[in-house]
Amino acid sequence: MRPFHLAFPVHDLDAARAFYCGVLGCGEGRSSDHWIDFDLYGHQIVAHLDPKAQPVSASSAVDGHDVPVPHFGVVLTMDQWTALADRLKAAGTRFGIEPYIRFKGQPGEQATMFFYDPSGNALEFKAFADDAMLFATS
């Protein structure tokens, strides 16, 4: 699988750097006064400075929760997901949806969590006990 690329707005590059490198553990790539490349589990995400950036506040009902949209993230292994959840909790990260198991006992059962970066961008990280269930319908 090839890495994806995602560009998104942030209102403060220093806060973005502290969060994506310091909390999420991303490597930093190229940067300028207006953007920073981050290595998010082998994928290229780029924070672009927009001092007026405002988070989108839409949501969609999923499994009894209001899931923020838009959002982005990575499907991790269960061990990576657990380690990240522990790291985020220790850092005092603001969760939109606390880490939990979604669709328990159903096709697509998954560990998931939603949280926000300092600019209010929503992120979801998830993991499956069986990666074959990623697109399962039955």
Give me the residue spans of the domains in the chain: 5-49, 61-133
Q: What per-residue confidence (pLDDT) applies to 31? A: 97
pLDDT of residue 56 exceeding 80? no
pLDDT of residue 65 exceeding 90? no
pLDDT in tens, 75-94: 999 999 999 999 999 999 98
pLDDT in tens, 18-54: 999 999 999 999 999 999 999 999 999 999 999 998 8
Task: Output phi, psi for 72, to 5 deg.
Answer: -145, 165
Which strand (E) or helix (H) includes residue 10? strand 5-10
Q: What per-residue confidence (pLDDT) applies to 53? A: 85
Q: What per-residue confidence (pLDDT) applies to 28? A: 98
Which of 3.30.300.30, 3.40.47.10, 3.40.50.150, 3.30.720.120 is the CATH number of 5-49?
Answer: 3.30.720.120
Task: Write down the mean pLDDT value for the chain.
Answer: 93
pLDDT bin (cut points 50, 70, 90) of residue 114 is very high
Which homologous superfamily is 61-133 in?
2,3-Dihydroxybiphenyl 1,2-Dioxygenase, domain 1 (3.10.180.10)
Whole-model pTM: value is 0.91
Q: Are 44 and 2 in contact (CB under 8 A)?
A: no
Please calculate the CA angle 77-120-59 and round it to the nearest 5 degrees: 75
**pLDDT exceeding 70 applies to what percent of the chain?**
100
Per DSSP, the residues of 53-96 read -----EEEEETTEEEEES-B--EE-HHHHHHHHHHHHHTT--EE
Q: Are 94 and 120 in contact (CB under 8 A)?
A: no
